[in-house]
């Protein structure tokens, strides 16, 4: 006589308590966070050193002969104070004072940016207080068309614009006496004009706007207080 088949009853599966699961996930997240923070803190010093070296190289390009550089903040209330951290407070403008081997101020380096053909063009320009003019530029970052827009780095005629680009302030020291403008290639007639590169007009204009906008904002704060930073502290 056949015995009826009794289905096997599967063993019960222990249910993981929700609280235990949450605690486990929390512990894993905490460990991962600790690893990330530790890696960040461990590399922060090297990152800062690399940025400092890159900045010093950029400044030496726009202000050849710079022996020492000190970063300052031009505050909205007109005060000038040392920049003691990498953070720039809201309303403040950061600039870098370059000093020669005797500790005398030889120039100011400042950053400017403007929209180019492909993306924002960020530049560093050197300003000479004695001539109240821009005496050099360097590119911090850009994504312009290779062979066209990137000529702003190599075109000797274009770079000659920045050997003595007029950025004098007006009599009230409230703005530039003349706006820096980029003009069509071959039509420059004034010391405050930038002669564009033929075929790369948009990028050329970005450089002109970057200098104009940065100088219009910084120089009215800086020039009246320039005597405060004539000597390296």
6-39 tens-digit pLDDT: 555 555 555 557 777 777 877 787 787 777 776 6
147 Ramachandran zone, left/alpha/beta (phi>0; psi -120 to 50): left
Share of residues in the chain with pLDDT > 70 (%): 85
Residue 5 to residue 27: CA distance in whole angstroms = 48
pLDDT tens-digit series, residues 72-116: 999 999 999 999 888 899 999 999 999 999 999 999 999 999 999
pLDDT of 51 higher than 70? no
Beta carbons of 210 and 121 less than 8 angstroms apart: yes
pLDDT digits (tens, 9 = 90+) for 107-138: 999 999 999 999 999 999 999 999 999 999 99
CA distance 59 to 111: 10
Which residue would you say has higher pLDDT here, 13 or 214? 214
Q: pTM score, two decimals?
A: 0.78
3-class secondary structure, 9: coil
Q: What is the pLDDT of residues 169-188, one digit of tens each?
A: 999 999 999 999 999 999 99
Do 127 and 201 touch, CB atoms closer than 8 A?
no
Q: Say how far apart CA 74 and CA 204 lie, in whole Å.
A: 28
DSSP string, 81-98: EE--SS---TT-EEEEEE
Residue position matching structure tokens 């002969």: 65
Distance CA 59, CA 64 (A): 8
Q: How do strand 120-128 and strand 165-166 relate by DSSP bridges? A: unpaired
CA distance from start to end of the chain: 108
| Selection from 74, 91, 124 nearest residue 224 by Cα | 74
Dihedral sign, CA of 111, 114, 120, 123?
A: negative
What average pLDDT does the chain have?
A: 88
């Amino acid at each position: 006589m056949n015995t009826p088949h009794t289905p096997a009853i599967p063993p019960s599966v222990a249910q993981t308590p929700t609280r235990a699961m949450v605690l486990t996930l929390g512990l894993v997240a905490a460990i991962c966070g600790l690893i990330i923070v530790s890696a960040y803190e461990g590399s922060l010093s090297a990152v800062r050193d690399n940025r400092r070296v890159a900045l010093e190289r950029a400044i030496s390009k726009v202000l050849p002969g710079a022996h020492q550089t000190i970063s300052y903040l031009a505050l909205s209330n007109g005060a000038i104070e040392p920049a003691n951290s990498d953070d720039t407070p809201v309303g403040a403008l950061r600039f870098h004072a370059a000093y020669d081997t005797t500790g005398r101020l030889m120039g100011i380096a400042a950053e400017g940016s403007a929209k180019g053909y492909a993306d924002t063009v960020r530049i560093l320009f050197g300003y000479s207080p004695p001539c109240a003019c821009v005496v050099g530029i360097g590119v911090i970052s850009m994504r312009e068309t290779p062979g066209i827009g990137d000529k702003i780095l190599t075109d000797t005629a274009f770079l000659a614009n920045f050997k003595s680009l007029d950025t004098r302030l007006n009599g009230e020291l409230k703005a530039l006496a003349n706006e820096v403008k980029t003009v069509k290639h071959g039509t420059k007639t004034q010391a405050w004009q930038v002669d564009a590169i033929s075929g790369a007009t948009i990028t050329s204009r970005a450089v002109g706007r970057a200098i104009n906008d940065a100088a219009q904002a910084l120089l009215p704060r800086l020039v009246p207080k320039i005597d405060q930073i004539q000597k390296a502290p």
